Structure 1
Amino acid sequence: MSVYWRALRAEMLKLKHTLALWMVLILPLAVAALIVLVGSLHPSAPQRSTTPAAAWHGLETGMFSLWCLLMVPLFVTLETALLAGLEHGNQQWKHLLALPLPPSAHYLAKLLMMVLMVLGAYLLLCVLVLPAGWILMVTAPDHGLAGLPPLADLWPLPAASFAASMLIVALQTWIALRWQSFTLAVSVGIVATVVGFIVAQSRFGNFFPWTLPGRIFHHGGDMQLTLAVGLGGGVLVAVLGLVDFLRRESP
């Protein structure tokens, strides 16, 4: 187990002061800032029936709908390409594979690093719901936000969405590590994101990897099916990607 920890720690050290690490902070902040800006410029009409808890739930849904539908696919696409580029760009694979570590450690370390970065971005966006709501209390009081959100209700849907995103993470990591072209890896993710807008509300939405995280926040989707496809498919694709990596890199 220590060899896998060493490989993961090496990935952490390589990411210091890189754009990939900064994106974990920048993109959630951008989503929160955009929601606050739109909410401040376009306040809703007063609704006496709206409770503070419902207003907080609406804010969270709005932030995570934007995050999951647009930002998560692009975030994962960019991060996997940047993470793979650390080795592709400098032709470092031969050096890594010559180290006294099993080849699987390098693949799994990059995959786990991606999972941790996606988790970090989700957690940060959860935290940003609070300051976003407090700002809107001042700039747009008609939204009905007040006090603190029901914290126990703040995390279940984002946690399910994170689990559903594992299929995208596994797919994009495999693509980015399989081919050296940064352009190819990014193009696949961008095209798939655009296609996701078309199929998101169709019957294929529960099976298209790039729409799965957003389906959690829309009642039209089957949450159990979405989680099964996202999480189960992610594990399956991760295993297939590892097998392909070992087959190509074996002496």
Structure 2
Amino acid sequence: MLAVLSVEIRKLNRSLAAVLAVAAPSLIAIFTFFNLLRGKTPMPWDMWMVSAIGIWSFFMLPMSVTALTALVAHMEHGPKSWDHLRALPLPRWRFYAAKAVMVLAVVAVMSAATLLMTWGAVMLATAIKPNLTPTGPLEVGLYATTMGKVFLAAILMAAIQLWIALRFASFVPALVVGIGGTFFSVVATSARAGVFFPWQMPVNMLASGDEAWRVTTALGLGCGLGLVVLALAIAHLARREVL
């Protein structure tokens, strides 16, 4: 399995995955940077860090997962290399499991990068305008915990996207599902049933007060059911003879 993972890492290094992993968090950081410079009075750290987590979980994460899974799948679909891989003397499930691990690893790195780059953007902006230095404590542990929950809640969405991307040789079905899921997530943000919608589960990690139940519900479904769907996807794809 380690050998298969090593090969997947080398493939990702030769792809646009690294560009995507940097670009998506950078957009949030750039937005934060210029938004802070437009301010007139200093705002709490929570304003900037929680807002970044919200933007990431609400829009950038679903779109990034859509692009990433399509990219990972196309690395095999494009050159039609599945026949070669499946002819190797290795259990087929390892190839799909390795891709799933890589997708989740890249999403985890992007999630961490969002927090780090946002912090860097705030520090850079306040170096230009010291009077806008954020107030209140910088609760790194709280932000990291929240982002960790966002990542776990996104596993179901990532599993669905990866399953579709690997199942179909064309990248169109995966893009349609990803864009459609993000669209309905945006237009139905306040829907009570949104907690059961995979593309809305990550943003539900920011719920509080009377809506705190949404956190545990979305986290349990997103992570627990996500791992089940991921296992089913790997088993299904490994049994297929033709892709």
Q: Same fold (TM over 0.5)?
A: yes
**Aligned positions, number:** 239
State the identity %.
30
Is 1:11 matched up with 2:8?
Answer: yes
Moved more, 182-191 or 167-176: 182-191
Task: Map residues 179-218 of structure 1 onto 2, 5 A cutoff.
Answer: 179-218=168-207
Offset at 1:80?
0.4
Flag structure 2 segments of 5+ consecutive residues without an equivalent.
none
Decide which of 22, 36, 40 is 1:39's aligned counterpart. Answer: 36
Decide which of 55, 67, 70 is 1:81's aligned counterpart. Answer: 70
Matched-pair contact (CA < 8 Å) for 1:77–1:189? yes
Which residue in the other structure is 2:158 paired with? 169
- TM-score (normalised: structure 2): 0.91
What CA RMSD, in Å, does the superposition of the two structures yield over aligned residues? 2.0
Task: Map residues 138-153 of structure 1 onto 2, 5 A cutoff.
Answer: 138-139=127-128, 145-146=134-135, 149-153=138-142
The amino acid that maps onto 2:32 is I
Which residue in the other structure is 1:229 paired with? 221
Offset at 1:66?
0.9
Offset at 1:152?
2.6
Deviation track 1:54-77 (CA, whole Å, cap 9, x = no partner) reads x11221111111111111011000
Structure 2 distance, partners of 1:235, 1:86, is 23
Matched-pair contact (CA < 8 Å) for 2:32–2:122? no
Question: Structure 1 runs of 4+ off > 3 angstroms?
Answer: 138-144
Flag structure 1 segments of 5+ consecutive residues without an equivalent.
none
Deviation track 1:20-78 (CA, whole Å, cap 9, x = no partner) reads 2211111101111112112222x1556xxx7xxxx112211111111111110110000
The amino acid that maps onto 2:67 is L
Matched-pair contact (CA < 8 Å) for 1:167–1:231? yes
Structure 2 distance, partners of 1:44, 1:112, is 44
Moved more, 193-202 or 141-150: 141-150
Structure 2 distance, partners of 1:19, 1:162, is 21
Give the SS at the match of 1:226.
helix
The amino acid that maps onto 2:226 is G
Give the SS at the match of 1:154.
helix
Is 1:21 matched up with 2:13?
Answer: no
Decide which of 104, 124, 139 is 2:113's aligned counterpart. Answer: 124
Decide which of 89, 93, 96 is 1:107's aligned counterpart. Answer: 96
Structure 2 distance, partners of 1:241, 1:109, is 13
Deviation track 1:152-203 (CA, whole Å, cap 9, x = no partner) reads 3231100111110111111101000011111221121011100111222111
Give the SS at the match of 1:206.
helix
